Structure 1
Amino acid sequence: MPQDTEQSAPVAPAVPSAPARTLLPLILPALAVGVGSSLLYLLVSGLAERLQGVLWGDLPDALGVGRYSAVWMLVMLTATGVLVGLVVWKAPGHAGPDPAVLGLSAAPTAPVVLPGLVLATMLMLAGGPSLGPENPIIAVNVALAFWLGRRLLPRLSGALWPVLAEAGTIGALFGTSVAAALVVSESLAGRPMKGALWDNLFAPLAAGAAGAMTTNLVARPTFDLGLPPFGHPRWEDLIAAVVLSCAGALLGLAAVYAFPRVHGVFARLGHPMAALPVGGLVLGALGVLGGHLTLFKGLSEVAELTRDPGGWTAGQFATMAVVKLAALLVAASCGFRGGRVFPSVFIGAALGLTAHALVPAVPLAVGVSAAVLGMLLAITRQGWVSLFTAAVLVSSPTALSLLCIASLPAWLLVTGRPQMQLKADGTATR
């Protein structure tokens, strides 16, 4: 009887799943961290919005100065630099480490640092620098969850609390737990895992869902820009998506390569009371050049742009994209506490609107989402965050398939390149 001489391919051993009794005790801590992360984010954002209304509405109206006049933008951005500089200089812990060395993930910091970091973040959000709340809010929630969790539930692993806080905050920021699960799964890819992937995602997904639901119930946020619906894709749309994702990636890489140099210029000033006011003055000048829509974190501003895409010319959209990119670079280099995801969305959207204004055949949904995708890939180097954010801007399953293809050449452009995050010695990480 003939024998089969072919050797069967080796089969990897099945990864054992965790029993339910191991996962059940994680549910309540995860839900508590998710709800708490969302509430802190909403509190800081709400207070910052109220302060913004005073600084950019009530105060200039009382003084008889135009809300977004050149004089007021220069005064407000410089004053914001002075105030944040005072916090960084005098607050215990100096409002945390230099934000240029931080990414979306954060190591737990001492609780004494948190009041200064929260105050610096609120002043930044209200004052107009082009940064978002994500990095400092994640850092605060991670520190609080780690500190409280180890004291209240010492039997649980200390490494669990930062992951829950990151997932809860990302869920709160984006209003969906899917974003949190994707980000956590990406971070787990570089770490040794015990058990199946879904077991490792169980508690972070619960925290992300709790954070997202809390935000949705309290604030009802949305990333959907209300762009015209995207119908059946054409070959031309695929080409446009690929070209614009690559253009966004190249534009983002320009800021990435400039980041260590610009940071070095401000570092040579040697003191936060020099670097931050000078940075604020430069940001005020950029605001004068690009207009008031290039101020602040950029999410409500990009919604204003997309509501009336015919209200600006291609040259104006391009100017806003370049000015916002320069403002992001300066704000991240001079010491303002903030993240880079939200302003990157504005830059990518302005680039996509430029393409649509130049070539009306490019659908708005394709142009905006593809350019945002490429920009975020270059700035964050987080594939899931970039793809998810670009997709939710247009809320179109059809556009998602185009974005998946467009992400491939854009990723080839950015992978292996320096990141917009520095090491302690001022050189770029890779």
Structure 2
Amino acid sequence: MVDTEQQAPSVTPSTPARALLPSILPAVAVGVMSSLLLVGVEVAAEELQGVLWKTVPDALGIGRYSVAWMFVMLVATGVAVGLVVWKVPGHAGPDPATVGLDAPVLPPFALPGLLLATALMLAGGPSLGPENPIIAVNVGLAVWLGGKAIPRAPGRIWPALAEAATLGALFGTPVGAALVISEVLSRQETRGLLWDNLFAPLTAAVAGALTATLIDRPSFDLDLPSFGRPGWADLLAAVVVAAAGALLGMCVVRALPYVHGVFRRLRHPMLMLPAGGAVLGALAALGGHLTLFKGLDEIAELAHDPDGWSAGEFAVMTVVKLAALLVAASCGFRGGRIFPAVFAGTALGLCAHALVSGVHPSVGVSAGVLGMLLAITRQGWISLFVAAVLIDSPGILVLLCVASLPAWLLVTGRQQMQLRPDGTPVR
């Protein structure tokens, strides 16, 4: 007799709607809060940046981006952030080289110092973005406030909501957050359907994206020359440039433990961060002011005139930006790596276009960003998403999906751009 129970297909049980509905209000609340905090920090940093890089040098009669002023500002930023890390309760969180997008839950007293260090970094010019520390702050706030408001809620839900909400606000769309969360869920033992598990985080991401869009209107389209139907030459260019981006990014990843170890020998934040600022000042003198800051505005400036620089100038900007990212991540500045990696990938793609005129700038930029992000973040979905969202062309996505395969083979199984507390790399 046939065992019908063994032959029956396995079906993943779905969650009833009444079980999902109670998560909507907390998810919306976390989404709005996370978005407001991200936008608030970025606006405050932009205002301070205007004072430091425009008002003050104009009043002193010094060039805004003269070599002397860039050096002074980056060293001064190192001193300011070093004071926060040294003196403010919580020391602005853990060593940023040991933290990725999956943020630890920090105690509430550590969050103000981390926010202050992040705002000073964004305004002062080091090559890091806001994502990692803002996610950490939002996770800490969500766990603290959520635990007080709804004590019976599972504790693990709050970090997922805060991370998704921050990513939704960062990119102005919930798509990137959904991709990241789905990648995280794939590594965990979760029960139920994927969309049931995604429901609350996606709600938070929608709320965060809508809030940021209404307040700040973020946009990532670089408005590069339009790209039509892809051809075989475009496919070859995408594969080669993405692989080159992955290899360059892996050079930074491999160097992280050694550069971090050099700064770690200085032991004190008031030595590590000013020293890092001095190195960043020297790099800025070499690469120019476009290699400063998180890189989003500077990417738009590059894309506005893709033929405005030579291949050598693009190559220098690529290498300097990656070196600045490496130094800033190693010496203790609080910040994320996505936006600097996007700048480096953009400069690499435009360098390929300048070297070989047959490489369409849209193909070069998207493929360069894809390869660079695969190496730096080791997040496949977010790399594809960011590379595709920069270019307003459906045909690019096909090329990127193909180009991601050999690029992924170059990075998978190798060390990541994150260290353990003892300084050894995470794999």
* TM-score band w.r.t. shorter chain: over 0.9
1:19 matched to 2:13: no
Residues 73-103 of structure 1: per-residue CA shift (max 9 Å, x gap): 0100000000000000001010000000000
1:262 matched to 2:259: yes
Q: Which runs of 4+ in 1 moved over 4 A?
A: 9-12
Structure 1: stretches of 5+ with no match in the other structure: none
The partner residue of 1:298 within 280, 290, 295 is 295
**Who is 1:82 aligned against?**
79
**Who is 1:30 aligned against?**
27
Distance of 1:383 and 1:238 partners within structure 2: 19
Distance of 2:104 and 2:209 partners within structure 1: 22
**Who is 1:202 aligned against?**
199
Instruction: Report matched runs for 1:12-411 at 5 Å.
Output: 12-411=9-408
Distance of 1:241 and 1:12 partners within structure 2: 41
Please state whether the residue corresponding to 2:169 is helix, strand or coil. Answer: helix
Please state whether the residue corresponding to 1:417 is helix, strand or coil. Answer: coil
Distance of 2:85 and 2:392 partners within structure 1: 40
Give the Å deviation of 1:395: 2.1
The partner residue of 2:424 within 418, 421, 427 is 427
Distance of 1:309 and 1:231 partners within structure 2: 18
Distance of 1:114 and 1:417 partners within structure 2: 32
Distance of 1:195 and 1:302 partners within structure 2: 41
Q: Under a length normalisation based on structure 2, what TM-score does the superposition of the two structures give? A: 0.98
Give the Å deviation of 1:156: 1.1
Amino acid aligned to 2:127:
S
Aligned residues with identical type, % of pairs = 69
Amino acid aligned to 2:165:
G
Structure 2: stretches of 5+ with no match in the other structure: none
Distance of 2:182 and 2:286 partners within structure 1: 41
Give the Å deviation of 1:10: 5.8
Q: Under a length normalisation based on structure 1, what TM-score does the superposition of the two structures give? A: 0.98
Distance of 2:92 and 2:8 partners within structure 1: 51
Amino acid aligned to 1:22:
A
Give the Å deviation of 1:11: 5.9
Please state whether the residue corresponding to 2:220 is helix, strand or coil. Answer: coil
Distance of 1:227 and 1:14 partners within structure 2: 46
Distance of 1:238 and 1:309 partners within structure 2: 20
Give the Å deviation of 1:230: 1.0
How well do the aligned residues superpose, as a CA RMSD in angstroms? 1.3
Give the Å deviation of 1:155: 1.7
Distance of 2:377 and 2:392 partners within structure 1: 22
Distance of 1:232 and 1:13 partners within structure 2: 42
Give the Å deviation of 1:247: 0.2
Give the Å deviation of 1:17: 0.5
Aligned pairs, number: 425
Distance of 2:306 and 2:202 partners within structure 1: 37
Distance of 2:393 and 2:197 partners within structure 1: 30
